[in-house]
Structure 1
Amino acid sequence: MAELNKFNIPQQKPVVLLSPLDWGLGHTTRCIPIIHELLTQGCSVIIACNSTQKALLSLELPGLTYVHLAGYNLKYGKKRWGTIVRIILQTPKILIRINNEKNWLNIFLKSQRVDCIISDNRFGLYNRKVPAVFITHQLYIKTGLGKPADRLVQLLNYRRINRFTTCWVPDRRGIKTMAGRLSNPEKLPSIRVQYLGGLSRFKACSTTTSPIQLLVVLSGPEPQRSIFENLLLKQLELQPGKTVLVRGLPKEGENMQVKNNITIYNHAPAGLLNELMCNAELVISRSGYTTVMDLLKLGKKSILVPTPGQAEQEYVAAHLQKEQLAYTVSQEQFNLQKALAAANEFPYQLSPWPMEDYKKAINELIDQIIKSKQS
């Protein structure tokens, strides 16, 4: 039988196909440390993603092999309940995308050897002939529709997760967690579950080079990203001190501009964003899980503003406030001056959060691949 090697990858190298979900860029950015470690440990990595994800990853990881895999392209509402309703109405579209992923993978495997698949929340990327890892911090999913709906969705969630070989959870097991019940439910999937402690592409802060009073990091799907940006800009113009705004638009490039006292970046590559966060006294951002992991790794004070209608973000923000790891306020009630005053009085209990356990999980995975190839 002819060797399946469409991309001319050396035979001795383990080949990993990695694909992150495209709901915002958080799933993509949290895969960056995983990709770095796979490369460090001698793997060839093929990234399956859409054009927006490729634009971001190419800045951080030039020279990798990319293949196009269509995203979900979900639409969000302008209000909380509008978003919840629109996501429910798009369930058939989600199921079609999952089936399309499955079909795409079966075709791809006919032309390229793959020793392992790593899927960040893409349910269709599993194959009975190839070990497959599923990454998620949501073993228990908050739907925003009450506990009966949450339990039903968890059952359906596990049914799909159990089709994979292993589940990686980017959080701690037990107490003092980042995602609370979402990552630490009473019942786990039936496949092996490994807790990674967290995933962040950022390096721990050392010294502050150019202090920033306030850093605002925008992210997430439209139209909510733009709605929050417009809400903030009106209020930031009145804010004294040095303020930096990162718009979260990687396709538009870095492109810095200064408007009054605000320095604005369309996009900040990892190194720059790492530096900005380390220099910031306070960060305002969404409570997207990847952003949360970055903030906690660096031990930064933050004001988290959940995306309206995203029950997961609302839960994570409330959980972190209860743990005194972040202060939170809803977008509907957001007033910059009041939020800053409240954050100034909030009893943050922060310290840098080590996030290196994923390297051990990757090492185990590669050992399994090598043993399988030798047998």
Structure 2
Amino acid sequence: MAPLNWGLGHATRCIPIIKALLQYNFEPIIASDGMALELLIKEFPNLETLELPSYNITYSKNPKHLKLKLLKDTPHIVKTIKNEKHLVEAFLKTHAISGIISDNRFGVRSNDVPSVFITHQLQVLSGNTTWLSSKMHQNIISKFDHCWIPDYKHEKNLSGILGHVKDFKGNLNYLGPLSRFEKQALKIKYQLLVILSGPEPQRTFLEEKLRCELQTFKGKVCIVRGVIEPKQTKIETNHITNYNYMTSTELEHTINASELILSRSGYTTLMDLAKLEKKAFFIPTPGQFEQDYLAKKLEAEGVAPFCNQNDFTIEKLRGIQNYSGFKFESFEIDYEQLFRLF
């Protein structure tokens, strides 16, 4: 199981698949790097791990320069893909592997072992270069035996145009939204839960801005900073409780016990909030076209409001009552059928 280390979303949405693999008597090996690997080690301390080379994906301080920075980083990314492919091939020679599941790691596949690619982006939004980025991504997907899309197949879905295209032919399997959480009827403990995530430096920029704004918030606030460290820390200051990170069980409990969620509009976060049927306010990561699209889609559908990072003020949360919040359409993933590939 190999999630991309770009924020924590790719790692966290792999958790239910890893649990299902264990349930069906597979022995998953976790392959990743950085905070994604650290998070999954904390979740599954008894599983074997493989550290992969890092893509070292970060955002530029100025969101307008994001595409230029990614273009500049392309040679390193291409080299990393080659390195991880060589590492995987070497690993296969010493381990009996029945299948590979890659969540957006392009080089984690093999011609000799059934290989699955997980993505919700058949179309990759990049402004006026969307056609090119989408074609490149679809070309990579086509090199895998199957593509698992964590969304509903029908018209009412979460990913919209990202996960639904007409002209791409491949072994596509729509799983339904993937979430590590279950809805619980708990007493409300926090009026606002802030979930921070995503690549630096934008994660820190948002944290600093919110800390100033939240001083005047009327009600109890919990901030989960999304910083994976060896030891969990908890700091309480007036009406605000701060955690550097939470385990899945802790975060599941805290979201269920929170009245409103404030977070990025990352796709994994959307799937989690849909499963727990929460009300939310979104602040897309500056320069990330996907998050901007998803936030606008949800606002247009009357599900949740959003605003740009620089425009956020605490007063904007007052309009949340005009939105429905997430409503979840229940489904069951047929893991037995999926795992027959292996």
TM-score (norm 2): 0.96
Give the aligned partner of residue 363 of structure 1: 336
Q: In structure 2, do the counterparts of structure 1 residues 312 and 129 end up closer, same or farther at CA, with 3 Å as the change threshold?
A: same
RMSD: 1.4
**Is the 2:195–2:225 contact (alpha carbons within 8 Å) kept by the matching residues of 1?**
yes
Give the aligned partner of residue 16 of structure 2: 33
CA deviations on 1:66-106 (whole Å, 9 max, x unpaired) are: 11112211121122212232122212222111111211111
Give the aligned partner of residue 137 of structure 2: 157
| Structure 1 stretches lacking a partner, 5+ long | 1-17, 370-375
Give the aligned partner of residue 200 of structure 1: 179
Q: Does 1:186 align with 2:166?
A: yes
Equivalent residues, number: 342
How many Å apart are 1:58 and its aligned residue? 2.0
Counterpart AA for 1:340: L
Q: 1:68 aligns with which of 38, 43, 51?
A: 51
TM-score (norm 1): 0.88
Give the aligned partner of residue 260 of structure 1: 238
Q: Does 1:341 align with 2:318?
A: yes
| Over 6 Å off, 4+ runs | none
**Is the 1:252–1:267 contact (alpha carbons within 8 Å) kept by the matching residues of 2?**
no
Counterpart AA for 1:363: E
Q: Does 1:167 align with 2:147?
A: yes
**Is the 2:5–2:34 contact (alpha carbons within 8 Å) kept by the matching residues of 1?**
no
Trace 1:1-375 onto structure 2 (pairs within 5 A).
18-144=1-127, 146=128, 149-188=129-168, 190-205=169-184, 207-251=185-229, 253-337=231-315, 339-344=316-321, 346-348=322-324, 350-354=326-330, 356-357=332-333, 360=334, 362-369=335-342
CA deviations on 1:228-266 (whole Å, 9 max, x unpaired) are: 000000111111111111100122532111012101111
Same amino acid, percent of matched pairs? 39
Greater RCO structure (CA 8 Å; 6+ sep) = 1
Structure 2: distance between partners of 1:290 and 1:135: 12
Q: In structure 2, do the counterparts of structure 1 residues 172 and 365 end up closer, same or farther at CA, with 3 Å as the change threshold?
A: closer
How many Å apart are 1:347 and its aligned residue? 2.6
Counterpart AA for 1:204: K
Structure 1: distance between partners of 2:162 and 2:57: 22
CA deviations on 1:110-166 (whole Å, 9 max, x unpaired) are: 11111100000011112111110000000000013x2xx211222211111111000
**Is the 1:217–1:245 contact (alpha carbons within 8 Å) kept by the matching residues of 2?**
yes
**Is the 2:188–2:259 contact (alpha carbons within 8 Å) kept by the matching residues of 1?**
no
**Is the 1:199–1:355 contact (alpha carbons within 8 Å) kept by the matching residues of 2?**
no
Larger Rg: 1
Structure 2: distance between partners of 1:133 and 1:178: 21
